[in-house]
Structure 1
């Protein structure tokens, strides 16, 4: 994998921010979130649908899609982008700050991009020796059937609950 591909992967992961300032109300008992969520669309802050996103660093377009997200009551989550590309980890909902905090665990054997993130200090090692990164999703709206997440550049990713 070349450097541009690794960099593109890192950019697509979203914000890699340690969970500092996490409130004491971070729990996986937020029942509205528990279930399976299907991607609907990506829009700007005014609600206009976005079909493509230009990435200047890697000089290419992204066509917004998925993932299908599943949040389980015991604190595990999956985000399925394709049949082969599935993120897994632990989640909680920070109700004080209206955000989903996810620990994305790297699967072994580590991919080139995971090795890059580990080597450059972007990953955290847990007590078992496994590596993960902390990702946060700011929640704009959460109802029993609708989830809207804030993204960079005032974009909004919308999901609907299917199970």
Structure 2
């Protein structure tokens, strides 16, 4: 196998041998067919073990609740504030911030969805900003979008927990 050299090593060796590299067209250098010098090409087909696993869930999306309800003329300002807060934590996908608007009033609904590149960024955003105080009246409640099923199963009517009779236990 050929020896691997860094570009700096190549420049040093060329200077030692009095070779001028300024005239070399590096893009024109081609390896002989079939010779890969032990370096896997990006063009080679990936093996099954090298293939990426894609998560089909919504683990990279958070829901930010308790935002101010604002009219259309203040929408961009609110979106800018939310984007500024959440882009400090991770990379928000392009078109990854969506604030629903009430069609009847033209005002925001007080919550938004933010889509990050990774579930780890979304989880970190939830941890860092749940309970974030925007102002006196607006303290963020942040949840993962994947948790929506759990919230949908909450009954509309509150019922007290079932009480069990006391049974003495063993003291430790």
The structure where strand makes up a greater share of residues is 1
Question: Normalising to structure 1: TM-score of the pair?
Answer: 0.21
The structure where helix makes up a greater share of residues is 2
Task: Point out which structure has higher relative CO (alpha carbons under 8 A, 6+ apart).
Answer: 1
Larger CA Rg, structure 1 vs 2: 2
